[in-house]
Amino acid sequence: MIAALTHLARLGRAAFVFAREGVFGVVDPGLIPPAGQVPVRLARLIERGGAKSGPRLSRALTRLGPAYLKLGQFLATRPDVVGVAMARDLESLQDRLPPFSQEEAEQAIAASLERPVRDVFVSLSAPVAAASIAQVHRGEIEVDGVRKQVAVKVLRPNVSARFRRDLSDFFYVAEKAEIYSAEARRLRLVEVINTMSRSVAMEMDLRLEAAAASEMAENTKDDPDFRVPTVDWNRTTHNVLTMEWIDGIPLNDHARLQAANVDTVELGRKVIQSFLRHALRDGFFHADMHPGNLFLGSDGRLVAVDFGIMGRLLPNERRFLAEILLGFITRNYRRVAEVHFEAGYVPPHHSVENFAQAIRAIGEPIHNRTAEEISMAKLLTLLLEVTGLFDMRTRPELILLQKTMVVVEGVARSFDPKLDIWKVADPVVREWIQRNLGPIGKVEGALAGAGELGHTLSGLPTIVSRAVTVLNQLEVMTKDGLVLAPETIAAIGRTERGRTRGRTVALWVIAATFIGVLIALSRMI
């Protein structure tokens, strides 16, 4: 009871902030149950002046603090949950908060590294950027007599406790909603909050962000257009992340790029192709590639920072992405439809022909437009909307990919408004197709299959041993009968008919198991 009142008190404060910022004014009245109509009207009476303009929900979430900011960012990737209009509102949400003090930062660093700051860093600047979970300082270290500039990321004090508190409120709302709302159960709101909780937990362990940067650095070490800062593992812990300082030009500083005579058309190409290469080739991509997280180095390569939000695509999902992009490029809509069915995304009771027709409705308008009017991100958005008509369940990894592509495409087009997104994507997609679905890919697939077969064959002695055990048990059962406890015999005596049927079923199950083992052995041999 006390816990429920505590949740309600904190949620009441959040509702007040939503009301003051005019959030209830953008809610579709048709979605509000009759019992909620009057409270919503009353809430609108306390809207502050000027609340009717701008991104209302984004303002409210920013006022409510770190956990609500993260909730908004997460829901921006789930238009299936909050609707397309609200998701677009949330896309403008900036994860920026006032920095905490230098003294608190240095105390946190000293406690985490178990050494005074002066013993670890030659110097440590005031914060240069601050977000909901951490802030960044510029530091200097000395290694073998050589001084190097580093970026030092520090978690906010007590941020974990505050997130746990607010997440408990989110779970409370989601659980109650699923009890009383069929729509909430369909959207699986508890699972939505669970997913967000896991994501935030990973962001709040800076060792995991360091590991993501390290993995991406290995994947891209031979890329001509992209690189990742080096992690300083000796100065990295759960609460502190130290990386190479990047002195490049941030991609949101168009004036500096112009002053440096940067070829912006080429820069747009690098942004698009780097992202697609990471998603398709590596299945591991930076999922927060806004211009503030991308720099142009002195060597002409892109450099990414902030690896707190990453996306993964399994091999089947990469094949799905490559084939649908190639299908749209070549106007092979039936193949695009077939890929959805092969991946198991669309239930088999639907018609491939009907689905291909829906895909054509998306693809054909693209080929009647000029290159600068074609948006790959918009196409994927429409594709996800159409698949909903064919009972395709929400695929979080594909939605994250699509939302990242919206940002990446926007960055690229800011440098080249006439960018032909398909022409730029074509070589990357075709390279992956040829490498993975062509002759070389088939040979490697066969070798991988052979490896799996070898692993299975190595388990043959265990399989044979189990088969012999089954045979021995079957022989004992048919020769000596079952050995049962007196209580069991008494129970069987009271249910003679059930006993006969149960023994028959048991014998058939054992026999079927034995036959299945023999069939499996014969196929492998």
Query: Active-site residue numbers?
Result: 288
CA 451, 454, 455: angle at the middle one, nearest 5? 90
Phi-psi sector, 391: left (phi>0), alpha (psi -120 to 50), beta: left
Q: Please give the distance of CA 309 from its chain centroid, rounded to a whole number.
A: 8
Nearest of 56, 85, 91 to residue 73 by alpha carbon:
91
- Helices marked H in 76-205: 79-82, 84-91, 102-113, 117-120, 159-180, 182-187, 189-203
Q: What is the 3-state secondary structure (H, E, C) of 430-499?
A: HHHHHHHHCHHHHHHHHHHHHHHHHHHHHCHHHHHHHHHHHHHHHHHHHHHCCCCCHHHHHHHHHCHHHH
Nearest of 298, 237, 309, 296 to residue 267 by alpha carbon:
296
Q: Which backbone phi and psi does 210 adopt, to 5 degrees?
A: -60, -40
Nearest-10 crossing angle of helices 376-389, 421-437:
60
Judge whether 301 and 227 are in contact, CB under 8 Å: yes
First to last CA, the chain: 64
Judge whether 245 and 149 are in contact, CB under 8 Å: yes
Judge whether 169 and 11 are in contact, CB under 8 Å: yes
Strand residues in 225-381 grouped as ranges (E): 226-227, 240-244, 249-250, 284-286, 294-296, 302-304, 310-312
Sign of CA dihedral 240, 244, 245, 249: negative
